[in-house]
Copies of this chain bind each other. A is one copy, B any other.
Amino acid sequence: MDYIIGIDGGGTKTEAVAYSLNGQELAASKSGYGNLLINYNTAITHIDECITACKTALTGYTCKGISLGLAGSKALSKEEIKRYFYDRYQVEVGLYDDAMIAHEALLHGKDGILTIAGTGAVSIGKKDGVYEYGGGWGHLLGDEGSGYWIGHQALILLTKEHDQSRPYSSLSQTILQHVKADTIHDIKKFVYSSPKSEVALLTPLVVNQARNHKQEASDILQQAGKHLANMTLHLYKKQRFEGSCLLACKGSILTEVPEVFDVYKKACEKEIKHIQWATQRVSSAKGAYQLFMNEYK
A residues near B, CB below 8 A?
74-75, 134-135, 137-138, 140-142, 152, 155-156, 159, 163-165, 185, 187-189, 191-192, 231, 234-235, 237-238
- Asked if B188 and A163 make an inter-chain contact with CB atoms under 8 angstroms apart, the answer reads no
27 chain-A/chain-B pairs, Cβ below 8 angstroms:
A74-B185, A75-B185, A75-B188, A75-B189, A134-B163, A135-B163, A137-B159, A137-B188, A138-B188, A138-B191, A138-B192, A140-B152, A141-B152, A141-B155, A141-B156, A141-B159, A141-B187, A141-B188, A141-B191, A142-B159, A163-B231, A163-B234, A163-B238, A164-B238, A165-B234, A165-B237, A165-B238
Residues in B whose Cβ lies below 8 Å from that of A238:
163-165
Q: Identify the interface centre among A138, A163, A187, A238: most chain B CB within 10 Å of its CB.
A: A163
CB contact between A191 and one of B140, B159, B163, B164 (< 8 Å): that residue:
B140
Given A75-B185, A75-B188, 4 further pairs, Cβ under 8 A? A134-B163, A138-B191, A141-B159, A165-B238
Return the chain B residue nearest A239 by Cβ: B165
In the complex, how many angstroms separate the beta carbon of A164 from the nearest chain B beta carbon? Answer: 5
Return the chain B residue nearest A75 by Cβ: B189
How many Å lie between the Cα of A246 and that of B238 in the bound state?
52
Residues in B whose Cβ lies below 8 Å from that of A140:
152, 191-192
In the complex, how many angstroms separate the beta carbon of A42 from the nearest chain B beta carbon? Answer: 18
In the complex, how many angstroms separate the beta carbon of A144 from the nearest chain B beta carbon? Answer: 10
Q: Identify the interface centre among A152, A159, A187: most chain B CB within 10 Å of its CB.
A: A159
Q: Identify the interface centre among A134, A135, A164, A235: most chain B CB within 10 Å of its CB.
A: A164
- Asked if B142 and A156 make an inter-chain contact with CB atoms under 8 angstroms apart, the answer reads yes
In the complex, how many angstroms separate the beta carbon of A167 from the nearest chain B beta carbon? Answer: 13
Residues in B whose Cβ lies below 8 Å from that of A159:
137, 141-142
In the complex, how many angstroms separate the beta carbon of A226 from the nearest chain B beta carbon? Answer: 15
Q: Identify the interface centre among A75, A140, A187, A192: most chain B CB within 10 Å of its CB.
A: A140
Residues in B whose Cβ lies below 8 Å from that of A75:
185, 188-189
How many Å lie between the Cα of A244 and that of B177 in the bound state?
38
How many Å lie between the Cα of A235 and that of B163 in the bound state?
7
Residues in B whose Cβ lies below 8 Å from that of A155:
141
Residues in B whose Cβ lies below 8 Å from that of A235:
163
Residues in B whose Cβ lies below 8 Å from that of A165:
234, 237-238
In the complex, how many angstroms separate the beta carbon of A130 from the nearest chain B beta carbon? Answer: 14
How many Å lie between the Cα of A248 and that of B243 in the bound state?
57
How many Å lie between the Cα of A234 and that of B161 in the bound state?
11
In the complex, how many angstroms separate the beta carbon of A40 from the nearest chain B beta carbon? Answer: 14
How many Å lie between the Cα of A70 and that of B238 in the bound state?
50
How many Å lie between the Cα of A120 and that of B141 in the bound state?
17
- Asked if B138 and A234 make an inter-chain contact with CB atoms under 8 angstroms apart, the answer reads no
Residues in B whose Cβ lies below 8 Å from that of A134:
163
